[in-house]
Every structure is written in structure tokens, then in C-alpha cells.
Amino acid sequence: MSRRGYARARSEGLSRKRPGIDDKSRFYRIEVRPKSEFVAFRTQDIGKKNGLERITGKRSSSSWDTATWLVEKNRAHVDKSGKLIIDDPQDKTALKQIRGPIMHKKGDVFTAKPRKNIKEDAKPTTIQRRTQAYNIQKTQRARRIFRK
């Protein structure tokens, strides 16, 4: 990198504010897992644009998992006890994988527990079996239609 390029990159990096900390941000940040577990991050829109976003993290083992959820401020509110309440019904169903209450940490940052880890000997669960059977039936129907 040239001197000029380095200087430009550095000056932009110093003035950058961390997302979710300042009062002017559009999102409440729900931290599910600590940042230290991941080596890379990616942001995904869930559902409609500018509503609910999911920040996934890549572990050193190359597996991906949810690190943080971003909920737009007009779709949620904070009650008197410091809990984040999701108002939008679609966002509420998408956030079913969060266990327990979403508690305030600092600023617009909240913490929550991730979904429970299911042991391998308990898999496939009844929901997984039902989904597998449905997918097999869907494939069979598509093949029947295609053969005609």
C-alpha cells in the first residue's frame, strides 16, 4: 500500500464510530454470542429490507453462527425494567431462537442467550423428521409433474 493510500485508510478508520453505540443509530443491537468466538463477520437482511438484520460470524473451524441481531428502533421498544420488547410480529417469529429475556447492556446494545444446543444423539428431532418427510414428498411431486 502506498503512503497516500495508508494515510487515507487510517484517517477513515479513526473517525469511524462503532455501530449500536451512538444515539443516532437506527438499530437496537442484540448480542447473542461474544465477538471473540469469530474471525470474520457478514450481515444479512432477514425478511423485508431495513427491518431485521442478522450478523453472522465465521469461526476458525469454518462454521458460521449468529453473533448479533439488529432490530430497527421503530419495530421495538425498551420497557421500564430494561428489557427489549419486539413489537413487529414478523420480527418476533424470526427471533424465536433467542432464549430468555433480552436485557440492556449499554446504549443501544442488549444481550440475550442463544438457542439451546441439541445433542447429536437426540437428532433428528421430531420437527426435523417432519421437515425431511415434507421435502421428500415435495421432490416426489415435482418429479411426477416433470415426467408427464
- Is the predicted pLDDT of residue 50 greater than 80, yes or no? no
User: Is 3 part of any domain?
Assistant: no
User: Are 66 and 34 part of one and the same domain?
Assistant: yes
In a domain, 1, yes or no: no
| Mean pLDDT (the chain, rounded) | 83
Claim to verify: residue 49 and residue 63 sit in the same structural domain: yes
The domain in which residue 69 lies consists of: 20-117
Same domain flag for 98 and 31: yes
Average pLDDT estimate for 91-99: 83
In the predicted structure, residue 25 carries a pLDDT above the cut 60: yes
Q: Is residue 75 over pLDDT 70? A: yes
Q: Name the residue with higher pLDDT: 131 or 101.
A: 131
Structure confidence by residue, pLDDT tens digits, 108-144: 889 988 887 777 788 888 989 999 999 999 999 999 8
Report yes or no on 32 lying in a domain.
yes
For 146, list phi and psi in degrees, rounded to 5. Answer: -70, -35
3 state DSSP class of 133: helix
- Alpha-carbon distance 7 to 29, whole Å? 31
